[in-house]
Amino acid sequence: MRISGVWKAYGRRQLLRGADLDVPAGTLVGVVGENGTGKSTLLRIAMGHLAPDRGTVERAGKAGYCPQHAVLNDSFTVMQHLRLFQAAYRLPTLARAHELMDLLAFADSGRQRAGELSGGTRQKLNLLLALMHDPQLLVLDEPYQGFDWDTHQRFWSLAARLRDQGRSIVVVSHLLHDRHHFDAVGHLRDGRLDMERTTR
């Protein structure tokens, strides 16, 4: 994915001012920045959910988006969500979804309604729905909010494995101790991304 020269204002508030972000296949890139600097806005533009005022986004292949706030139907069970997304993604089976449920350690929550899930489990479902169709591009907005430590570690192993298999991954993160997982980190400041190579 390549984001080039993206500008975005909400009313008079100019948020993005020529932001560039390159996420080639096989890279894991972090986006960091203070609250309200426009990280989620940038990711929504990256996904095509929001139009930029100026600039372009190039994407190749299927994309998976994990929004900052899970968009779930509280009266549907976890399994009903999986079946709904299976139909939307046109998947022949739920094999990958079940693998991810095991990996994220919530395989026993299938019959629970989304409205009854704990915050961390809700977030596991949010992430699973973004990944179950094995997308080439992963756009993840604070995907591990509320995860316990084991799940947090398993998330990073999964992300590294997918990166090594050639996926493009961009993650909004607030956690300084996660920086070493990234190939590069983009600091969103004054509407632009300053890229820093990490020493991974």
- Which residues in this chain contact ligand ATP in the complex, by CB under 6 A? 10, 15, 33, 35-41, 68
| Cα 153 to the center of its chain, rounded Å | 16
> C-beta of 37: minimal distance to ligand ATP in Å?
4
**52, 94 contact by CB (below 8 A):** no
CB closer to ligand ATP, 82 vs 138: 138
> C-beta of 152: minimal distance to ligand ATP in Å?
19
CA dist 10 and 33 (Å) reads: 18
List the structure tokens of 163. Answer: 């990166």
CB closer to ligand ATP, 102 vs 190: 190
Inter-axis angle of helices 119-131 and 95-103, nearest 10: 140
CB closer to ligand ATP, 41 vs 123: 41
> Cα separations (Å) of 168 from 52, 61, 98, 140, 194?
21, 10, 23, 11, 19
CB closer to ligand ATP, 27 vs 40: 40
Inter-axis angle of helices 95-103 and 78-89, nearest 10: 140
> C-beta of 172: minimal distance to ligand ATP in Å?
7
Q: Which residue has the tokens 């890279």?
A: 27
CB closer to ligand ATP, 68 vs 198: 68
> C-beta of 85: minimal distance to ligand ATP in Å?
24
> C-beta of 39: minimal distance to ligand ATP in Å?
4
Backbone region of residue 142 per phi and psi (left: phi > 0; alpha: psi in -120 to 50; beta: other values): left
> C-beta of 24: minimal distance to ligand ATP in Å?
23
CB closer to ligand ATP, 41 vs 77: 41
CA dist 144 and 138 (Å) reads: 14
